[in-house]
Amino acid sequence: MVSLVVVVYLLVHVSTVMLVEDKCPPSCHCGKKRGPGHEIVTVIRCSTGSVPDLSPLKVNPHSKELTLDAYRNDNSLDIRKSIFQSGLKIRRLVIIGGPKMSLQDAAFVNLDDSLVSLRVGNEVKFNTSLTFLRGLSNLVRLQLRNNKQYWTRSPGSQVVSLFRDLGLYQLEEIDMSSCFMYKMSVDVFRGVESLTSLDLSGNRLSDVPMAVNRLIRLRKLDLRFNHIKSLQSGAFSKLRKLQSLLLVGNEFGELVPDTFSGLEFSLLTLDLQLTGQKVIPTRALRRLKALKNLNISENPFTSMLADSFSGEYCLHRLDMHYTQVEFHPNMFDSQKDCLRELSLYKTKLTYIPRGILASLSKLKRLEFHGADINVLKNDSLSGIKAKSIDLSYLPLSEIEPGAFNGLNVPVNVTIVGTSLTNLDFVIGYEPGTFEKIEIEGSIICDCDLVKPLRELGCVLTGSCSKEHNVSVMDLRNDEFRNYLSEKCLVELSPPVCLSNTVHIDHCCVYILLMIGLILTDFII
């Protein structure tokens, strides 16, 4: 009897939830998705020039994400406190407006107890101090990217205090990318000292703003694609918790030895791509003890030296793509017991520098994506410890027998976009040599594609060309299985191809389990 009461309750509860989800505001589209914690999230999108009646959402028990989009129709959007009624629970709010949008002081204060993430964007011109944010004491993430509130300012003008006295006590992340900011006063971030992530990419900043040095809790700073011409000594000296620093696209050239002073024990990731470096900034990097990830790609290096990467750090990932100089035979010696991932794609390499790479005892992933290697010769990879090797988009037309000898097997190989037309190179290897091979492009879908792989017991993924590039078949689809089953008279099943995964709604499983328990109870 107790079980019967439980199932009735569950069925009523589920039907109630379904009815609640059907209550969608007028002029809006509603749906649901799984949140990061597998909870149900109701997603509402309203494309309108005026905010619709949102009261139907008050009875919906699920977490909610609301988007108000007035940008595409160039509508004006007047955001006032009265729009968001007390009791309305919205966790994430996106407002896509334009120059005509107006935002009242403390416009979102009635959402204070629920609103965690807010985005206001697309060419909106704000008032100077952003008072529409007042009172959002639980707000964690704020996105103000791609707005034009500083578009008409002269390059010499400063952005003054924006967040002072707004009560943003929990704010951790701010995105103010592409807001046309030239300079910032030292107190621009007064009131949001709790920040851990700041994105100022795509602006017009000519130096690192002194204002960021007051954000002593900052863990990530994004300054990509500004106009920074130099980095002064100690530019980040007070950011002793900073873990990620992105400087891509600022051509400041040579770095002084004390550039990263203050970051010796915290900085994990440093991105110096496209920063005009002519030599590896060995002296500036030397004391970064915590550094694990370094990107120095697309710089006009003139040479590589034996001590280029010598320092107190132990790199796990190094990205050197588009490096156009000869490699020194001993350049990785100081990192030989550290490097796990090495990216060498789009380099001038015409062969695998086995002598340089074989000493990397911890190497897991190796990328030659886009290098100038035409032929993979016998023993080309011998002694290299990598478990994953990317040979994509090489002018690769031949892989000689034995090219994969001496590897730390099993290995994953990616050969997307090469000139190879078959997988004959796998013939002659012992089962277990290859764990997975990913293909795409010129590999022909024929019987010879499957036979050696079935014998080796490895997984084949990607796509192949049917009848010399007439059409392409995805190896996960039934079309490929049926085509080769008919042509080769074999039945295909994993591990040759990855099978599709069927997802079952957790709610349905729960109800079925409960019904099964009840039926069992009745039988007993």
Hunting for tokens 């295909």 — which residue is that? 492
Rounded to 5°, angle at Cα 440 from 438 and 444: 110
- The pTM is what? 0.85
- Ranges of residues in the chain with a pLDDT under 50 are 1-21, 494-512, 517-524
Query: For position 1, what pLDDT does the model report?
Result: 47
> What is the rounded CA–CA span in Å between residue 315 and residue 97?
44
Beta strands 269-271 and 293-295 are parallel
Judge whether 321 and 298 are in contact, CB under 8 Å: yes
Inter-CA distances, 409 with 204, 381, 382, 398, 413, Å: 50, 12, 11, 21, 11
Query: Residue 73's CB: how many other CB atoms inside 10 A?
Result: 10
CATH class of the domain whose range is 229-339? alpha beta
CATH 3.80.10.10-classified regions of the chain: 229-339
363 class by beta-carbon count within 10 Å (0-12 exposed, 13-18 middle, 19+ buried) = buried
What residue type is 189 in one-letter code? F
Residue 489: its pLDDT value, please? 63
With contact defined as beta carbons under 8 Å apart, do 464 and 475 qualify? yes
Q: Give the span between the Cα atoms of 357 and 327, in whole angstroms.
A: 11
**Encoded amino acid at 251, one letter:** E
Percent helix, strand, coil in the chain (nearest 5)? 20, 20, 65
Express each pLDDT in 287-297 by its tens digit: 999 999 999 99
CA 166 to chain centre: 31
73 half-sphere exposure, CB direction, 13 A CA radius: 11
3-class DSSP state for residue 264? coil
> Residue 154's pLDDT is what?
64
CA-to-CA dists, residue 482 to 5, 403, 462, 475, 486, angstroms:
50, 33, 16, 11, 6
Sorted by sequence, the CB contacts under 8 Å of residue 484 that are 6+ apart come out as: 445, 447, 449, 450, 490, 492
Contacts of 332 (CB under 8 A, 6+ apart): 309, 339, 356, 357, 359, 360
**Residues 6 or more apart from 18 whose CB is under 8 A from it?**
none
Residue partners of 363: CB distance under 8 A and separation at least 6: 339, 340, 341, 342, 357, 384, 385, 386
Cβ contact 445:429 at 8 Å: no
Q: Is residue 440 within a helix (H) or strand (E), and if so which, with residue range?
A: strand 434-440
- Choosing among 3.30.70, 3.30.250, 3.80.10, 2.30.30, the CATH entry for 2-211+353-509 is 3.80.10
Alpha carbon dihedral 261, 266, 269, 275, in 10-degree steps, equals -10
